[in-house]
Amino acid sequence: MRMKKKKTTALLEPNCVCLRPLCHNGQQIAIQTITPQKRLDKVEIVPAKRLEKGKETKLKLVYTGNISETLGGLYQTTYFENGIKKEKSGDWVTTTFYKTPKMSSYLLALMVSEFTHVEKYTESGVRYRIYARKEATAANMTLYALNAGVKCLEYYNKLFDYKFPLDKQG
């Protein structure tokens, strides 16, 4: 994590739902304490010295976490297709994405599935997709979400005068 502070600080609080920090890279920044803040889904990191305004700081945390069945942190879910619970396949597929712009960590999702998709383009040419079970896309059960998603993107593009930046959808 690279960061530039807007003010001098003695505290860092990255989000970390259901994750436990194991170690830090003391070469870039010496850590005095690391305290989980479970109620806030954060970890409190107190560096050995104050981090100065305007100076770049590098922080490396290695996390471990269980894959849980609750909808927080890293979790697994299952779905039914044609009334049958899907099991893992022996085949692997690798997907490579474009570089991700700076964003809050809660906006990131990782999904492994055999879903199909429907897609539509915004007025400015941004492709928008909705992924779902095959029978849901075949029965047009995703059209409302697709149309609403495209309208929302177009609205926010105009409201903020900023083109949707993620070239990842698709």
pLDDT, the chain, mean: 73
Q: Give tens-digit pLDDT for 50-93.
A: 877 877 776 666 666 677 777 766 777 766 656 655 555 566 65
Q: Where are the beta strands (DSSP E) in 12-161?
A: 20-24, 31-37, 42-47, 56-58, 61-64, 80-81, 84-85, 116-121, 127-132
- Asked whether the predicted pLDDT for residue 140 surpasses 90, the reply is yes
Segments making up each domain of the chain, as ranges: 2-64, 80-160
Q: What single string gives the DSSP state of each residue in 2-21?
A: EEE-SS-BS-B--B-TT-EE
